[in-house]
Copies of this chain bind each other. A is one copy, B any other.
Amino acid sequence: MIAFLPLCAHPNPKKVLIVGGGDGGVAREISKHPLVEEIVQVEIDEKVIDVSKEYLPFMSEGFSSPKLTLRICDGFEYMRKHQAEFDVIVTDSSDPIGPAVNLFTESYFALLKKALKCDGIVCSQAGAVWVGIDHAKATMEHCKKHFGVVKYALTSVPTYPTGQIGFLVGSLDKDNVLEQPKRVFSENELDEMNLRYYNSDVHKSAFVLPNFVRRIFQI
């Protein structure tokens, strides 16, 4: 979902940046999208990749995608040198505690904006609504200062605390209706890509939020 929500919300996602995502799962999924031509992944900690290659081969197979260029470096540094380059940037980080805390700040979203093309889209892991909803709201507010439209989407992740994870999706094009997938895949296409969760209806419904979340987010 962190891959296909932003990809399908974009009309033509040719070049994608992944920040983090050291297990390789996001690269694996993004490389499936037929319009994606080039993926750059910046991971600060090479050991995450090594461990994934050893213990999570079904995730780390993403690193063998011919579309992928993997760089072991600081995402902040990388983006400062690569401006107006990307259609989509996915931040696949750990929770906002310790090393990942900078990936939830307003200055991070300012940096993302500059690294994107003028109609670019970001998608970031943004916690759970059952715990830490205030932090998710604050992250949305940071993003809104730099992006024309910002939405929150939910998906079931049984291994994550509370069994659900939230994503922030933001577009520089304020007229982009993010809930509406720009590319609708047929059953056959979904099968060929081995997409076991995502489909166009799941895309739309991911943005439907329970009352208490709508109220807190003032949506």
Query: Chain A residues in contact with chain B, CB under 8 A?
Result: 128, 130, 154, 156-158, 160, 162-164, 190, 195-199, 201-202, 204-205, 208-212, 214
Contacts and interface: CB of A to CB of B under 8 A. Distances in A.
23 contacts: A130-B158, A156-B156, A156-B162, A156-B163, A156-B164, A156-B210, A157-B163, A160-B163, A162-B163, A163-B163, A164-B164, A195-B211, A196-B210, A197-B210, A197-B211, A197-B212, A198-B210, A198-B211, A199-B214, A201-B208, A202-B209, A202-B210, A204-B205
Contacts of A163: 156-158, 160, 162-164
Contacts of A190: 211
Contacts of A214: 199
* Residue of A160, A162, A195, A211 with most chain B CB atoms under a 10 A cut-off: A211
How often does this chain occur in the complex, in copies?
2
Contact of A154 (B156, B198, B211): B156
Contacts of A156: 130, 154, 156, 162-164, 210
A216 to B, nearest CB: 11
* Residue of A156, A157, A195 with most chain B CB atoms under a 10 A cut-off: A156
A157 to B, nearest CB: 8
A126 B71 CA distance: 46
Nearest to A201: B208
A158 B198 CA distance: 21
A162 B190 CA distance: 24
Given A156-B156, A196-B212, 15 more contacts: A130-B156, A130-B158, A154-B156, A156-B210, A158-B162, A158-B164, A160-B163, A164-B164, A190-B211, A196-B211, A198-B211, A199-B214, A202-B209, A204-B205, A205-B208
